[in-house]
Chain A
């Protein structure tokens, strides 16, 4: 860097430096104005945008799940409630290594593959950032302790208290109330399609069957939201605003827990169904399908083992016989068929036949046998034919009435179509007709087919609910009120669905039929005279015994059970009291052999309880009115 000595021109250099310092100042001022402009742009011009962004950063809107509506019986007893329970949750955003965390949890709590799979499913669900996702419900105290001890190894894993559905009556209402369970993929898709994602934020269960499913939208309630301030790691620091969730509607049903218990006790040893309907409202008082199961098992996910046991049992506990069981109605439809004969003037109440114990079609060798080999005598009229259940009489009636008129008239009582009771998975039974046979069997209708339908056999099928409904139509003398479970929503009464009444040409024909049904229970030779003894009220009924060709559920029979399962089904329909009907009941006992001895006493037990209870309540009310005060001591 050696340089030849040069003379420095001090003044020139001063001028150069001064001018360059000026330039430097200009550049600095220019750059400063760039900064000023930039900060002006950010802080003044775009201030609003950034305030929004900054709030969006720190303010998190969390959904607050509503409590599901409660379900009560007619007496105000709780049938479905919400119980606090602790669940294990994972906040994905706070977990550094999800796989490692899951592995550790698996070791600590022995999580099953299914739980993990369900958890992954829930993880896929649309949710807000930092929303905890449950992995196991109903933690035991021991499990909570294990988590607490290992907390330091489990960042992002937290125990959360929440409300879980509980059914205090256990299996008593397994089919009718149904149950809630984890939202599955299909249901999630349905929720998305209906645009209900917002309503289900923070909610992990949904009504699967029965009342829980059909009134899901009422029971659900509305999610609330709270605005919370969080830091960058999502830790909630404080609640800024809160919009409380709106709890689901409370439903009061017509069901009566006590009556249901009676029905369940009656069917304890059997497979079958009992349906009781309040005649003047159509309200279902009891609907029990036996055997049942504990719906609480399903709420937080049933174990594979438990589910397999339920699914594979030959007794089909998951099957709701009340609405899905389709049975030949047998002689229980004789009152309606008889009414049909009267309406079409095919018979009169005075008309009699000779019953030798069998029936023969003209120009046909075949004998259609009566259930009683020796027959019911030579002067069998309609009343006797119903009271003693003469098949011969009905073969003759059905032949002369013809399938078209018979089928059309039975349809008036709801056979062959769903009752549209507010329940799930109802089946429509089967009311055979000429068109039906042509369409599904590709065969002509033969007169012999009519004979079978006339005694409720052949292809005819009905559900216990249909039988009970048909009974209410008789009890109401043609008034048709759709059966229903839901009485009121938050105390608000629901109106009944009333169809066009069935008006007979001669109204007194109702009396003829009801008299005959009374004779079944109270007559000297009535098939259900066994239950008529000691009855404090008048009951109209009809027994039925249906031949089994295997109940049509498509299951395979176990060979060792063949005998049992080939026995006849026992049926009974009844209503009481005759002078002012209050309750109509249908009982079906699979392989119960005889309607008179198996099914009829069950119906009586249910009706007894109901009318006795009514009487007590009535007496109580009367005495209250009389004394002008409310008695509470008597309870």
Chain B
């Protein structure tokens, strides 16, 4: 960010230009890349502890990360125009795949999330939808005037609702809500009128009640009830949340030390490598560690918002804002659910939780951010 600030000063341009020639050529945003690499290393260190010092697991995760970085570089090469051109196509492909998942998907624990197509590696179409929705919405508003009129709001809500509904049916409540949020962020940044927002909130409360009674499944209701009172089902649904808050709380200010967390190393903490990894981190590095991690995340968010602010097309701005905002929501939902203030929905902690495809999607998103960031500079000079 400091470099960006310097870059704005008169006379500093030439120096910077020379320094970033290679980066520019490769469409790389250096500050974002550095922050992401730092975060990736933090993630690997925590994961090493969380999966019981298993180096094989770390190697696998590292190779996924390399793949994800490759994805990021690839995504960074697309021009905004190309992205806009393909937005509609990608969106409808993802809808088709989501329908296919419902019809012929595979999965475990009563949820169908994966698609196993011949000739292709197994993948989750919802990952594609994570990028497809912001793309089509940003592209949609690129061609409309802002602030959006009611008609446009209506159509964009339809665009949001379809994938949200399809993913919700898998069921994958967490992803479905997150994708919905990524769409709503586009609407919000596009300047949707406050009265629509308040009306939506006013309508949302009865809608939530209706959902509770008619749409939500038993296990989903159970998760919310567990949040209210984990002790009620101490050995069942409440176990995870009791153990994760215990892990976090017992970390104290400075933590028990790397590899010293008893909750995770003695297997009290379930899902320690995946969704609950922040509890391992909080136990071993304490409040100070959590604050530093949060700071790292916030710096990435800030850089994302800066890119959005600096983008010169509505498409670029909305897309960058949505990708950044969604990234933050991941962090908020994950850290919130593990610490017991949000119901447990399957949301990983970005770049720290173990997992393959979600990291690739995430980094592809950052690649798009970089594409937006670097393209801006081309236009202005």
**Which residues of A pack against B, CB within 8 Å?**
1, 3, 6-9, 12-13, 16-21, 23-25, 28, 31-32, 34-36, 38-40, 42-44, 46-47, 49-51, 53-54, 57-58, 229-233, 237
Contacts and interface: CB of A to CB of B under 8 A. Distances in A.
B332 interface: yes
Interface string B252-274: 11000000001100111000000
Contact of A21 (B152, B305, B314): B305
Nearest to A6: B145
B27 interface: no
Interface stretch (B11-19, B68-76, B283-291): B283-291
B40 interface: no
Given A16-B147, A53-B249, A39 B290 contact: yes
A24 B305 contact: yes
B267 A44 contact: no
A24 B321 contact: yes
B107 interface: no
Interface of B: 140, 143-147, 152, 155, 185, 188-191, 242-243, 245-253, 262-263, 266-268, 282, 286-287, 290-291, 294, 298, 301, 305, 308-309, 314, 317-318, 321, 325, 328, 332, 335-336, 339-341
A6 B141 CA distance: 12
Nearest to A25: B305
A54 B251 CA distance: 10
A575 B242 CA distance: 76
Contacts of A25: 305
B146 A13 contact: yes
Given A58-B266, A229-B266, A28 B328 contact: yes
A13 B313 CA distance: 10
A110 B289 CA distance: 59
Contacts of A9: 145
Sorted nearest first, the 5 A-B pairs with minimum C-beta distance are A50-B249, A54-B250, A16-B191, A43-B287, A232-B267
Contacts of B341: 34, 38
Contact of B188 (A8, A24, A50): A24
Give the dominant DSSP class at B's interface: helix
Given A32-B298, A43-B287, 11 more contacts: A3-B143, A23-B188, A31-B328, A34-B336, A42-B282, A43-B248, A50-B248, A50-B250, A51-B252, A54-B263, A57-B268
28 contacts: A1-B140, A3-B143, A3-B152, A8-B314, A13-B314, A16-B147, A16-B191, A17-B308, A18-B309, A21-B321, A25-B305, A34-B336, A34-B341, A35-B294, A35-B335, A38-B336, A38-B339, A38-B340, A42-B248, A43-B286, A44-B252, A47-B250, A50-B248, A50-B250, A51-B250, A57-B263, A58-B263, A58-B268
Contacts of B247: 50, 54
A47 to B, nearest CB: 5
A175 B314 CA distance: 100
Which of B243, B321, B335 has most A Cβ within 10 Å?
B335
A35 B271 CA distance: 21
A209 B60 CA distance: 67
Contacts of B305: 21, 24-25
Nearest to A43: B287
B336 A35 contact: yes
Contacts of A34: 332, 336, 341
B325 A36 contact: no
A38 B279 CA distance: 13
B309 A46 contact: no
Nearest to B325: A24
Given A1-B155, A9-B145, A21 B245 contact: no
Given A9-B145, A24-B189, A39-B282, A47 B266 contact: no
Given A13-B314, A50-B246, A57-B262, A20 B191 contact: yes
B250 A53 contact: yes
A30 to B, nearest CB: 10
A17 B317 contact: yes
Contacts of A21: 189, 305, 308-309, 317, 321
Contacts of A36: 291, 294
A238 to B, nearest CB: 11
A56 to B, nearest CB: 9
B262 A54 contact: yes
Nearest to A19: B191
A16 B298 CA distance: 23
Contacts of A49: 249
Nearest to A7: B145
Nearest to A233: B267
A455 B252 CA distance: 89
Nearest to B253: A44
Contacts of B332: 31-32, 34-35
B299 to A, nearest CB: 12
A53 B250 CA distance: 8
Contacts of B262: 54, 57-58, 229
B287 A237 contact: no
Nearest to B191: A16
A35 B338 CA distance: 11
B336 A24 contact: no
A17 B287 contact: no
A50 B188 CA distance: 40
Contacts of B248: 39, 42-43, 50
Contacts of A57: 243, 246, 262-263, 266, 268
A34 B294 CA distance: 12
Nearest to B339: A38
Given A12-B146, A17-B317, A43 B282 contact: yes
A237 B249 CA distance: 23
Contacts of B321: 17, 20-21, 24
Contacts of B266: 57-58, 229-232, 237
A390 to B, nearest CB: 84
Nearest to B306: A21
Contacts of A58: 262-263, 266, 268
Contacts of A230: 266
Nearest to A18: B309
B246 A54 contact: yes
Given A35-B335, A58-B262, A58-B268, A17 B249 contact: no
A16 to B, nearest CB: 4
Contacts of A20: 188-191, 321
Among A8, A20, A51, chain B packs the most CB atoms within 10 A around the CB of A20
Contacts of B188: 20, 23-24
The interface centre, meaning the residue of A13, A34, A46 with most chain B CB atoms within 10 A of its CB, is: A13
Nearest to B322: A24
B290 to A, nearest CB: 5
